[in-house]
Each structure stands twice: as C-alpha cells, then as structure tokens.
Structure 1
Amino acid sequence: MQLKRQKGETNIAAALTLAGSSLLATGATYAGDDNLNYPDNSAEKATDWQLEAALMFYGEQDRVTTLEGVLLAKGEFDDSSGLDIKLVFDSLSGASATGAVVQQQSQTLTRPSGNGEYQIAAGEQVLDDSFDDKRLQLSADWYKLFENSWQLTGGVYGSREYDYTSLGVNGALEHSFNKNNSTASLALAYGLDTIDPVGGRPLPLATMARRVDYDSETAFRQAFEASREGGSDHKQTLDLLLGFTQVLNRRWLLQGNYGFSLVKGYQTDPYKVLSLVDNLGVTQSYLYESRPDSRQKQSLFLLLKGALDRGVIDLSWRYTFDDWQLDSHTLESHFRHYFSDGFYGQLHLRYYRQSAASFYRPLLHYKEGSMPGYLAEFASADQRLGELQAYTVGVKLGHKLGEGRELSYRLEYYQQQGENNGTLLPGELGNMQLFPRLRAVIAQLSYRF
C-alpha cells in the first residue's frame, strides 16, 4: 500500500494525518479531538505561546512503516486573535502494493525509474520494496474574534516530498447566534499539487517494458521511454464546507456539515499497474493504470457529543460520494473517562466501508480477437479504489501535569479487508488470495507544554 501518492484518498493514510492540511478539517471535528490539527480558543490557552509535540509510529504487517513528528506552536496576540504554526516531518519506507495480482509462478517487474527490476516469488503478493520517502510540511493558521459573535480564520500550508509538492490556502467565516447556542460556518480551501514521478509519467494503460522481453539494453530503454508521456503534472483542488452546530441542552450538542470538493488535473498513480491475464489466469503483461482527470466529491457529516458526570462521549457518521461512484460510510465513537482530575482514559472505535470506483478492476482479461484486450479509457487495480471495509480499535491515556502541561499516549489497531467487486477470476486466480487482509499498529506519544 502506498500512503503518499494520491492525496485525499480514503485509506490508512487517514490515520497518519496528525496535522491536517486545510482548515476544512476543523468543520468535521469535535471538541477534545486527539489530534493536533485544530485551534484551541478556550480560556485555558496560554497568553503567549504554548507548544505541543507528538511522535507517532505506524506499522503495517510486512509492508509500510512510518515515523512521524509534529510540533505545534499556538500564540495569542490578544484576547481575540492568535496564530497557530505547525511543522510536520515523516519518514515512510517498506513494501508497497503495485496492483499486480499474485501468481503460481515467479514474476519480474521493472522499477518505476526503469533502472532495475525486482522479482516476486510464486504465491507472493506483488510488492515493490523500494518504497522510501520523506515529507516536510509547514502550515500557519490565523484567527480573529469579533465582538459581534463573528470569527474569521485564514491559513496557508505547504508540503514537500521527493516527487510531490503541495501548496494551499484556506479561510473560514463563523457566526454564533441564539445566545451563542447556535453556530453557522462557511469554509473554503484551494490546493495546488505538483506531481513529478520517478521515471516520468506513464502513458495511460501502456504496457510495462521488461528487460526479459528485449535482446539488448538499448531496445529496452527505447521501449521504456516510449511508454512515458512526460515529466511533472499538476492537480488543483477546491473545497467548500458548510457547517452548523447546535447546543441541545447543558450536556449535549449536535454538529453537522456538508462538504463539496472539485479536483481537476493529474490523479493517476504513476506507480500502480494492472495485470493482463489469459483465460487460465496467467499474467501476460502489465499495464500502467489510468484515472479520470476530474472528480467531484461530496460529503455529509453528523456528530452528537455529550458531557457525562466524569467524561465525554461522541458518536459520528460520515457519508461520502463522488462521480467516480465511490461511496463510503464511516461510524466513529470516542468515550473519555476521567479517573481523577489529572488522569483520563479514552476508547476509540471506528468502522469504515466503501464501494468500488466505476473503473476499478483487480485485473484485466484478454478478450477473443482483441489485443491487448481492454478498450476502456480508465482502469485501476489500486485497492484504495476498490470495495473494502475496515475497523479501528484504540485506547488513549492522558496525564494533566499542571501549568498547562499534558502528557498523553495512544495505541490503536487497524484492520482492512478488500473484497471482490464481482470481477471474474479465471483459472488459477480463483484459488489465490487476491484481496489480502491488511493489519497495522499505530502508537503515538504527545506532550503539551
């Protein structure tokens, strides 16, 4: 599984995002969230600067490992305005799924750069073990409170990794009324991403050139270059969020929002391929994937949050849908119990399910009288676009140390199971594990001072 290529895709990467890249995330959160993403305008906030640091480990079984560090500085200019500055660094390495299917015989694939190849043993999942990347992200969010119950927020962010650069701006306007028991908000964000893949961008559904198929290195290099259409490309994202929060009584509040996102530009993962198989299920060649260059996404979110005698509980539901026909439902709950004034424990439960995108194919078939056997414009075997379900179970413990200091640690278990979307599995593939279960552990240590 690759965690970095398609920003915004629903997958395990969501669990890694300790530092959200846009203000729009705040409209879908709740008071007391675990993460470091959201401005804290409460009376407890330090008058000058408050620092918050976190270190997180994320590890998939036999796949990707991530180590991430976050530093957040919160400053107040006066009682009505402030600035949050956030620095994130993470390192990812391990084996990443390519999209090719497992076979009863060994397989040889070309590295994305064209410089080298890798072998996959019979019966093994097709993983590229050269996955290694570093990411640095910096963001700043400014807010201003006005006397007439209005709040204005604005922010900028930028992130850089080896083959991906992301820049963005965001802003929000919020108004409280009904004796501050009701709040309405409008948020906008714009992002510009630049993708510069190793080895260049593959032509959509082009056949992967492999050295074994050519008599000389020169012939191979010519075939490899012929499968490319250039270097870097761009993607633009425009997000809109309408939110509403209502205090129901002294213990309960209800929050809801509607989100709309328009994405234009290069959205193909240049490192993903599909297996082209015959009627016996034997791979004949590998094709680079192809995705549409336009996507419209919408979301609905509801959250109910309540204050208990010695704790807090929340329950949320999110529904997302887009014109790629990928729909998803997320149910999530947090229950925090205060064992004492300075010590609390929190239970986290999350269930997620999504349908497959209209062009998702776990593999492609040769067809009678047709070579290479696939005439559609788009196809992808990326499991992040396939039918799947996942759940997360986690616990968090926190110690309030006085003078605004807090130490917390979190441990979670994540499991994801892909499912066949009805694709016929010919020959030997009917007995192979094409949708393996993915397991991951997440551990985080945070300190506020």
Structure 2
Amino acid sequence: MVVAVTKTLKQQLTLAAGALLGHQAADAAESTDASLYNSWTVDVGYLYYSEPDKITVDTYMAMISGNLSDKDTVSLGLVFDTLTGSTPTGALPDSSVAVTGVSGGGAGTVGGGGATSSFDDTRLAVDASWGHEWQRLVRSDVSAYVSVEGDYTAIGGGLGIEKDTEDRAYTFTAAIGGSVDKVSQSNEQTPAPLSELSDAIYYGKGDKNTYDVLFGLSKIINRRTAAMVNITHSRSLGYHTDPYKVISVADADDAEFTTLFEKRPDERERYVLYSKIVHEIPGGDDHLDFSYRYHTDSWDVNSHTVEMGYSFDVRIRHLFKPFGRIYYQQAANFYQRTIVSDDGVLDNLPEYASSDPRLADMLSVTAGLKYQYKTSATGSIDFRLAYIHRQYGSAVVGDDGTLFLTVDLGKGFD
C-alpha cells in the first residue's frame, strides 16, 4: 500500500539528504561569482499517481533554496498531498468487517480479493536543511522535517557528513537520523492488539521512535561511469501495529468464526544494502543505470530488488526511458493468512499475528516507459506508464496486475 511506503520514505529521505544536499553546497562553493552567494531558486512541482480501482495520489510540492555565503546553503520544502482509494483489511474475502477508514472511510468487500477498507487522507509536510562546507573537500548537512496526516504524525531530523578524496574520484558519506512518530486510527485511538472487532478495547495514540545510521561510498570510475553503495542500519521501538489491519479466525476451510485486530512486535531492526551504477553510452547522450537493494530485518522480511533503466533522447527536449523492476520478499516470521481454529475458541492465540499482504511472501515485476519533455532549462513534464504484477505465496488477496500512471510537473525559478 502506497501509504505505508510513504511513511517509510520519510525516515529514509532524512538520511539521503545528508548525502545529496552536500553536493549542492560544494557546487555553490566552487563558483567564483560572488553574486551567486545571494541567489535563490524556487522549485514547484505536481505529482499524480494512480492505480485504477486501488489508489490515487495528488501531490503538490514547493522548495526554495539559496546560498547564504560561499560556504552555506539552505533550503525549505513544502509538500501537500491527498490520497484516496481502498486497501485490504487483512480479513478473508467473504468477511464484511467494518474497519473505520482514514477520515471516515468505510469498509466494503471486493469479490475474490479480500475485504477492503476505503481511505481518504491528506498530508502536509515541511522540511528544512542547512549545508556547510568546512573545508574544500568536507561538507555537512543538517535537516529536519515535520509531517502531519489524519492518523500519523512524524517529526525527525538528520546529520550527514561527506568527504571527497583529493582527486574527487571517491566520496565517503556518513549520516545519522531519527524520528518520533505518533500512530492511530482517524479517531486518535488504537485498538487493543488481538482483540475482537465486536468487543475491542481502545487506547490512545501509539508512539514509535526510529534511529538510522548510514555509511556510503561513491566512485567516479571513468568519465562515463559512476557507482555508489550505501549500508543503512535502522532500529525502531514502540508501536508498529497497523491500527486498521485485522486477521480472521477461521477453520481449515476458511469458515470464519470472528475477526481480530492484528498485533506486531514492538521492536524492529533493519539492515539495507543499496548499490547503483550509471553509465553513459559512447557516441551519444544515452544512459544505462542498474541498481540492487537487499533488505533484511528482525522480522525475517528479507527482500531483493533489482532495477534497470535505459534513457535516450529522440529529439531536443524529448527523453524516453524504458525501465524494469523485480522485487521479491520473504514473509515476516509472524505472518499468518488466518489464525486457524477448529471451534473458534480464542484460548491459544499466537503472541504476534498479521495477515497484511505487505508482510507476505511476494514477487512483483514492473515494466514501463517514462517520457520527459523539457519545457525550459529549469522545467519539465514527466509521464510514467507501467504495468505491475504481484504474486503472493499465501495471502487473503489474490495475485493481481494493474497499470499505473504518474505525471510529474516541475519548474525552477531563479
């Protein structure tokens, strides 16, 4: 579900800012034109994402950035987005559970696909960063953000350091980050884990604290090829349960007795290895990129992601990029399609249980095409159309395939 991915990205982008914005500080410092130190750039953008019959996202973005001196850069960003659609509740297909959706969304049932709950949410996020060049080859970046949704609030920040070698062929990166999150249903309550929907006890908002550490290395291999590798360690403590997700108690033939709210462990430790290589094809302006990501965590959600893309210009201002992605993950160690019971008696419940398809065995394959039209030197319109197929090992939802479309408009103003 895109909503969950967004929440994860909030934490990871804090660390990424330490690496990316440091380069901006270095580029600004290399200029000998003193007038640049007081120049400011405003970037605005719009992103549309749609999976028919599943989710629609409208995102509006704005960022202002500039140079306070020959060694200092600052930026301030604002994001507002709306999300509408439906998501599996975790209950069996024939279940008619009534799980309150975000901002009052109701519940429904989709034949053969599992019970679903509609959602309608908005998010407002603000982030700021300050980059500083301490020496010619050493840069730092400090960042902070606040993100508020109807059922999720996150406050976080990060600190990143970059060091180049004398020939600038290598760049070493180290960053730390942290966030404090508050999670609840839209009524600002969280249900007691593994309690029945019909007789659930509710508590206040759940708290979660996350700590991240990143180490990275980038290498200019030659005038046409660059590569990078990052290793990230993340640890989160507190409320990890999704307050909207449920799990069915049923017999071996999927005859449902009752439905419980899920329960996840209150601690999660992750390790992520990410690598990428970009190569410019000789004789033109074409580029080939390849990336690999490995994820493992204390929940045994081990995953592999391989992505590849090839970009080329067909005419001035027109760029095409076919791309593909393969993703495989192993199910969490507490994942269960249902809680199996012969008579529906709840005397021997597991310590943790979730039937969220996002925690199941899954293989997804994506293939698509990106088209970019450069409207000006600082503006572009990007269209991305792709087909994604998801195959689950054992889940309350069936295998599915869908087209998705993204439209991204951006413009910079000096």
After TM superposition, the score normalised by the length of structure 1 is: 0.81
Matched, 1:314 2:289: yes
The one of 360, 370, 383 equivalent to 2:335 is 360
Q: Which residue in 2 is equivalent to 1:125?
A: 114
Matched, 1:168 2:164: no
- Segments of structure 2 that go 5 or more residues without pairing to the other structure are none
* Closer/same/farther in 2, CA of residues 145 and 376 from structure 1, 3 Å limit: same
Map 1:326-365 → 2, pairs under 5 A:
326-340=301-315, 342-365=317-340
CA distance in 1 between counterparts of 2:401 and 2:41 reads 38
Q: Which residue in 1 is equivalent to 2:128?
A: 140
CA distance in 2 between counterparts of 1:351 and 1:109 reads 33
The one of 84, 87, 90 equivalent to 1:96 is 87
Matched, 1:205 2:194: yes
The structure that is strand-richer by fraction is 2
Task: State the secondary structure of the residue aligned to 2:16.
Answer: helix
CA distance in 2 between counterparts of 1:185 and 1:152 reads 10
* Closer/same/farther in 2, CA of residues 338 and 146 from structure 1, 3 Å limit: farther
The residue type paired with residue 194 of structure 2 is: L
Matched, 1:293 2:256: no
Asked if structure 2 preserves the Cα contact closer than 8 Å seen for 1:108 and 1:117, the reply is no
CA RMSD of aligned residues (A): 2.9
The one of 55, 58, 61 equivalent to 2:49 is 58
1:440 positional shift: 4.4
CA deviation string 1:237-294 (max 9, x = no partner) = 0000000112222221221111100010000001000111123321111011000000
1:186 positional shift: 0.3
Task: State the secondary structure of the residue aligned to 1:128.
Answer: strand
Asked if structure 2 preserves the Cα contact closer than 8 Å seen for 1:356 and 1:385, the reply is yes
1:121 positional shift: 6.9
CA distance in 2 between counterparts of 1:307 and 1:153 reads 29
Asked if structure 2 preserves the Cα contact closer than 8 Å seen for 1:22 and 1:157, the reply is no
Map 1:237-248 → 2, pairs under 5 A:
237-248=210-221
Map 1:20-419 → 2, pairs under 5 A:
22-26=13-17, 40=24, 42=27, 47=36, 48-103=39-94, 107-112=95-100, 118=107, 120=109, 123=112, 125-129=114-118, 131-199=119-187, 200-209=189-198, 223=199, 227-308=200-281, 309-340=284-315, 342-367=317-342, 371-372=345-346, 374-402=348-376, 404-419=377-392
Task: State the secondary structure of the residue aligned to 2:197.
Answer: coil
1:206 positional shift: 0.9
CA distance in 2 between counterparts of 1:234 and 1:329 reads 29
CA deviation string 1:331-355 (max 9, x = no partner) = 1123222345544322332221111
Task: State the secondary structure of the residue aligned to 1:287.
Answer: strand
Asked if structure 1 preserves the Cα contact closer than 8 Å seen for 2:108 and 2:116, the reply is no
Matched, 1:7 2:7: yes
Which shows bigger deviation, 190-199 or 180-189? 190-199
Number of corresponding residues? 400
* Closer/same/farther in 2, CA of residues 194 and 325 from structure 1, 3 Å limit: same
The residue type paired with residue 251 of structure 1 is: R
CA distance in 1 between counterparts of 2:88 and 2:333 reads 21
Q: Percent identity?
A: 26
Which shows bigger deviation, 292-301 or 79-88? 79-88
* Closer/same/farther in 2, CA of residues 341 and 81 from structure 1, 3 Å limit: farther
